[in-house]
Chains A and B, each alone.
Chain A
Amino acid sequence: MSRRLAGRVNWNKVTPYLLILPAILFELLIHVTPMIVGVWMSFVNLTRFFITNWLAAPVAGFANYSIVLNFDKPLGRQLAQSFGVTLAFAVLTVGLSFILGTLAAIVLQRQFRARGPLRTLFLIPYALPAYAGIITWKFMLQRDNGLINQLLVNDLHLFDQAPFWLIGDNAFVSLVVVSIWHQWPFAFLMTMAGMQSIPDELYEAAAIDGASVWRQIRHITFGMMRPVNTVLVLLLFLWTFREFNTPFVLFGSAPAKSANLLVVTIYNSSFIQWNFGLGAAMSVLLMVFLILVSALWALWNRRVHN
C-alpha cells in the first residue's frame, strides 16, 4: 500500500514544496501574522484600557485613519510633517550612501598595496553594533564638550558661537550624517561584490578599442552593475525609511521637529501614549507606501528588462 502510494507520489514535484514548507511556516508566523494583527489593530480603539484584553477593544472603523489623516489637526499635521522629513532623510541618505559606496568600490577595484586594510576599515561602521556607534556620535555631537564642535569652533574657528547638533534644524544634518556613516559600507560591500563578477576581459577589450577609463566605468561597470544597483537602492530605501535606531539613540523619544522620523512618531503614539490603534493605523499607512514604492520599482524594473 505504502509502496504503491510512494510510487504514485512524484517526488520530483513534491520535494521543492517540502523544502520550502518550513520557510513558509516561519514566514507566516513571523511576518504575515503580525502584519494581519497590525492591520486589525488599526481598526480598533486599542488604548491603555484594553491592553490586557485586546479582544475587548471597541471597533473603531476608520476613526484611527481619519485622525491621523486629518491634516488640519495637530496629530495629522505632525504625521505629514514627519513623512516629509522621512522622505528627505531617506532620499539623501540612500543617494549619498550609494554614491560613496560606488566610488569607494571603483577605487578599490584595482590592485594596490593598501587595498585590504582599506576595505576592512570601510566596513567597520557596518560591523559595529549600531547602538555603540550611534552613542559615540551622540557624545561627539554634544555642544559644549563634543569632538565636532571642538574641531569646528575651537580649532578651525568656523563658527563664533558653538552650534547645537542634537536639537533644532541641525539635528537633521546630524541624523543624515550618522545614518550615512552607518549605511554606506553596505552599499560599498554590495557594489564591490558586484564589480568582482565583471570579467576583466571586458575592460581589456575596451581598453584595446581605445575606451577611456571614464567610458569603461560608465559603460562596463555601470552597465553590468545595473541589476545589483537597482536591488541595492531599493533595499537601502526600504531600510532607511524605517530607520529607528539612529534617531532614537541620538535624540531619545523627543526628537527635534527637523529630525522627527515616521517610525519614532509611530513609536511615540503606540508606546508612550499607549494608543496602539493610532500607532497601528500609522504603521499600515507606512506599509502601504512602502508596498507602493516596491511595486513601482518592480514595474519599472520589468519595463527596463523587457
Chain B
Amino acid sequence: MKVRFLAASAAAALMLSALTACSTPTSESTDTSGPTGTGSAPSAADQPYAGTTLTYWATNQGSSLDDDKAILQPELDKFKQQTGITVNLEVIPWSDMTNNTLQAAISGQGPDVVNIGNTNATTLQATNAFMPFDSAALTAIGGKDKFVASAWKTAGPAGKDPTSVPLYSQVYGLFYNKAMFAAAGLQPPTTWEDLVADAKTLTDPAKGTWGIVAPAGTVNVSMHIEYIFAAQNGGSPFLDDGTPDFVTQANIDAVKRYIDLMATDKVLNPSAAQYSDGVQATNEFATGKVGMYMAQTGNVNALAQQGMKPDQYGVVPVPAPAGGKSVGSFIAGTNISVFSFTQHKEAALEFVKFMTSAAEQEILNKAFRMISPVQGVPASAFAEWPELMQVWPTILQNNAIPMALVSTVSAYQTNVGGGIVALFAQAASGSPVTEDTIKTMLDEAQQKMLAAG
C-alpha cells in the first residue's frame, strides 16, 4: 500500500516538475512594454524601434557569469539610451549553450539574439534556425568589410549567407612559465622537437613539476589540438567537399604527437587524463609548477583569477615539428546570431550593429581580454603587457587557419575529440597507445560519423 502511495506521489511530483518546466518562460521576446528610458525622449525618427524588448543570450566570456553581467549591463544600458531598445540579458555557461540553443531552435521560442562558439557556426547554419545575414542585413550592421578578413571566414562557408558574424576572436598560443624557463636556462621553443626537449628538462615527477599541462580529458580541446596538429602536418580531417577523411598519416601523427606527451615523452602528468574541462589545466599552470600550456587567449583572464599575472608567463605560437607548416591555431572565438523566429528583426540587427561597432568592440574585447574581429580596433586588452599585445594579433593574422567549415564539426568534435580523451585515459593507466590503436580510433570515429550522417 505504502509503495503504491509513494509511487503515486512520485508520479505526481514528476508531473508537477514537468508542468513547472513547461511553464517557465524562456523568452520575453514578445514583451512590448513601453519605453522606460529616462531623460529627454528622443524623437521617433531617431529611435524607430524604441520600446522594443530583445532577449540576448550571451556566452560566458569572463571569469564568471556575474562578471559577464557586470561587464555587459552598462553597455546594454548605453544601447537603450541610444535606441530605446531594451535588452534582457542572460549569460549562459558554455556547457549549457548548445543544448539551450538547440531547444530554442526546435521550439521556436527563445532569445532574439544569441552568442555561439564559432566552431559551431556551420553546424548551426545547417539548422535554418538562424537569420541569414544577406546583403541587406549586412548593410544594416555596417557591412562585412568592417570585419578582419581572417575572422570573417569563421562566419560560414563561402557562397552562402552566413548566419552569424564574429564578435570576439581568440587563438591558441603556447603559454610558458618565465621563471621556470629562466631557472633551467631555456628559451621558448620554436619547433615541436624543442618543446619536447624543454619539457623533458623541466619535468621532475618527484618534485611535482611537469613540462606541460593539457586538459587531456576534455573533448573539445582535444579536437582543437588534433585539428591544429594535422594542419601542421600538412593535412586536414576533412576533404574539400566536407567528407570526413580521418585515417590519413597527417591525422594519425597529429593524435600520436598529442598523446605521446603523456605516453612516451612522459612530460604530461597522467592525472591530466581526468581534467574534463580546461579550468583544471589552467589552475595547474597557475600553480607555477608546470612549464608550458597550450591554451586560448581567454586564459589570460582565467590565469589572473588564479593569481598568475601576465608578466609571469610569456606566449609564443604553438610550434610545429621541424619542416612542418607554421600553423599555431585555428581562429577560435565567439560569433553573434539572430534567431530566425524573432519578431524584432530590425531591432536585433540594430543590436548586432552596436555590439560589432568599433567603440563597443574596444570596450568588450578589453574587458574579456579577447582580440577584436573588427578592423582598426586596437588589442587594448593587453595594453599593459606589450609582449602579449603584439603576440596575439600576430598569431591571428599569420599563424591561424579557420576551423573546417563543414556542418559535421560538432560530430567530429564528439567522435575524434572523444576518441582522443579515451586514448589519453588508456595512456594514463600505462597501456601503450600505438599507431594502430590510433588508426582504429580514427576509423571508428569516421564510420560513426558517416553512419550518423
Determine whether B418 belongs to the interface, using a CB cutoff of 8 Å to chain A: yes
B286 cross-chain contacts in A, Cβ below 8 A: none
- Within 48-62 of A, Cβ neighbours of B (below 8 Å) are at 48-49, 51-54
Known contacts A45-B453, A167-B273, A194-B2; decide if A271 and B99 are in contact (CB<8 Å).
Answer: yes
Say whether B3 contacts A51, CB under 8 Å.
no
Question: Is there an interface contact between B418 and A48, defined as CB atoms closer than 8 Å?
Answer: no
Residues of B within 8 A of A193 (CB): 2-3
Rounded to whole angstroms, the CA-CA distance of A251 and B452 in the bound complex is 23
A26 at interface by CB-CB < 8 Å: yes
Q: How far is the CB of A8 from chain B (nearest CB, A)?
A: 33
* Bound-complex Cα distance A232 to B10 (A): 14
Kindly state the separation between the CA atoms of A256 and B423 in the bound complex, as whole angstroms.
Answer: 10
Q: Which of A218-264 contact B (CB under 8 A)?
A: 228, 231-232, 235, 251-254, 256-257
Q: Which residue of B has the minimal Cβ distance to A54?
A: B106
**Is the CB–CB distance between A257 and B407 below 8 Å?**
no
Q: How many residues of A contact B (CB 8 A)?
A: 45
Query: Is B190 on the interface with A (CB-CB < 8 A)?
Result: no
Complex interface: chain A residues within 8 A of B417 (CB): 254
Residues of B close to A48: CB separation below 8 A: 123, 126-127, 407
Cross-interface CB contact of A52 among B2, B3, B127, B276, cutoff 8 Å: B127
- 19 additional A-B residue pairs with CB within 8 Å, beyond A190-B3, A272-B411: A47-B452, A48-B123, A49-B126, A49-B128, A51-B105, A54-B106, A143-B274, A167-B273, A167-B429, A193-B3, A194-B2, A197-B1, A254-B422, A268-B414, A269-B452, A272-B410, A273-B410, A273-B414, A273-B452
Cα A271 to Cα B100 in complex, Å, equals 11
Q: How far is the CA of A254 from the CA of B411 in the complex (A)?
A: 13
Given A52-B105, A74-B444, A235-B7, CB of A254 within 8 Å of CB of B421? yes
Which size class do B's interface residues fall under? 35 or more
Lowest 5 CB-CB distances: which A-B pairs, in order? A167-B425, A74-B444, A193-B2, A254-B418, A168-B429
Measured between C-beta atoms, what is the minimum distance from B212 to chain A in Å?
16
| Residues on B with beta carbons closer than 8 Å to the beta carbon of A204 | none
Pair A144/B425 contact, Cβ less than 8 Å: no
B6, CB-defined interface residue at 8 Å = yes
CA distance A278 to B448 in the complex (A): 11
**Contact check: which of B106, B425, B448, B453 meets A256 at CB < 8 Å?**
B425
How many Cβ-Cβ contacts under 8 Å join chain A to chain B? 119
7 A-B pairs with C-beta separation under 8 A: A49-B407, A51-B127, A52-B105, A75-B451, A167-B425, A256-B425, A272-B414
Question: Quick check: is B102 within 8 A (CB to CB) of the other chain?
Answer: yes
User: Taking the complex as formed, is B15 at the interface, i.e. its CB lies under 8 A from any CB of chain A?
Assistant: yes
Q: Which residues of B contact A251 (CB under 8 A)?
A: 276
Asked if B167 is an interface residue, CB under 8 A from chain A, the answer is no
B276 lies within 8 A of A256 (CB): no
1/0 contact string of A270-296 vs chain B (CB within 8 Å): 011111001000000000000000000
Most buried by A among B6, B274, B417: B274
Q: Assess whether A122 is interfacial by the CB under 8 Å rule.
A: no
Separation of A199 and B281 alpha carbons in the complex (Å): 60
Closest to B106 in A: A51
With A and B bound together, what is the CA distance between A67 and B340 in angstroms?
A: 33
CB of A167 within 8 A of CB of B447, answer: no
CA distance A47 to B408 in the complex (A): 11
User: A residues engaging B (CB < 8 A)?
Assistant: 26, 30, 45, 47-49, 51-54, 67, 73-75, 78, 142-144, 164, 166-169, 190, 193-194, 197, 228, 231-232, 235, 251-254, 256-257, 268-269, 271-275, 278
Beta-carbon nearest neighbor of B424 in chain A:
A167
In residues 270-302 of chain B, which contact A (Cβ within 8 Å)? 270-271, 273-274, 276-277
Chain B interfacial positions (CB closer than 8 Å to A):
1-3, 6-7, 15, 18, 98-99, 102, 105-106, 108, 123, 126-129, 217, 219, 270-271, 273-274, 276-277, 340, 407, 410-411, 414-415, 417-418, 421-422, 425-426, 428-429, 444-445, 447-448, 451-453
In the assembled complex, how far is the CB of residue B153 from the closest CB belonging to chain A, in whole angstroms? Answer: 21
Asked whether, in the complex, the Cβ of B422 is within 8 Å of the Cβ of A256, the reply is yes
Residues of B within 8 A of A74 (CB): 444-445, 447-448, 451
If the complex has contacts A45-B453, A51-B105, A257-B422, are A73 and B126 also in contact, measured as CB distance less than 8 A? no
**Which chain A residue lies CB-closest to B216?**
A167
Residue of B nearest to A49 (CB): B126
Query: What is the bound-complex CA distance between A30 and B16, given in angstroms?
Result: 11
With contacts A30-B18, A75-B447 taken as known, whether A144 is within 8 angstroms of B271 at the C-beta atoms is yes
Inter-chain contact A190/B6, CB cutoff 8 Å: yes
Least CB distance from A274 to B in Å reads: 7
Contacting pair B102 A254 (CB below 8 A): no
CB-based contact A275/B3 at 8 Å = no
| Residues from chain B with Cβ under 8 Å of A256 in the complex | 422, 425
Tell me whether B428 and A164 are in contact (CB under 8 A): yes
* Minimum C-beta distance from B166 to chain A (A): 22
Q: Is the CB of A142 within 8 A of B128?
A: no
Closest to B419 in A: A254
CB <8 Å contact, B15 and A30: yes
Task: Considering the complex, give the chain B residue whose CB is closest to the CB of A45.
Answer: B453
Say yes or no: B108 contacts A52, CB within 8 Å: yes
Which residues of B have CB within 8 Å of A49? Answer: 126-128, 407
- Set of chain B residues within 8 Å of A164, measured between Cβ atoms: 270, 273-274, 425, 428-429
Contact of A271 with B102 at beta-carbon distance under 8 Å, contacts A52-B129, A67-B451, A167-B217 already known: yes
Instruction: Report how far A169 CA is from B3 CA in the complex, Å.
Output: 36
Contact assessment for B453 and A47 in the assembled complex, using a CB-CB cutoff below 8 Å: yes
Smallest CB gap from B276: residue in A: A252
Cα-based distance from A168 to B453 in the complex (angstroms)? 29
A269 to B418, CA, bound (A): 13
Q: Are B452 and A53 in contact (CB under 8 A)?
A: no
A15 CB to closest chain B CB, in angstroms? Answer: 19
A54: which B residues are within 8 A, CB to CB?
106
The answer to whether residues A167 and B428 also contact, given A190-B6, A254-B422 and a CB cut-off of 8 A, is yes
Q: What residues on A are CB-neighbors of B219 within 8 Å? A: 252-254
- In Å, the complex CA distance between A251 and B421 comes to 11
Rounded to whole Å, the gap between the CB of A33 and the closest CB of chain B is: 12
A190 neighbours in B (Cβ, 8 Å) = 2-3, 6
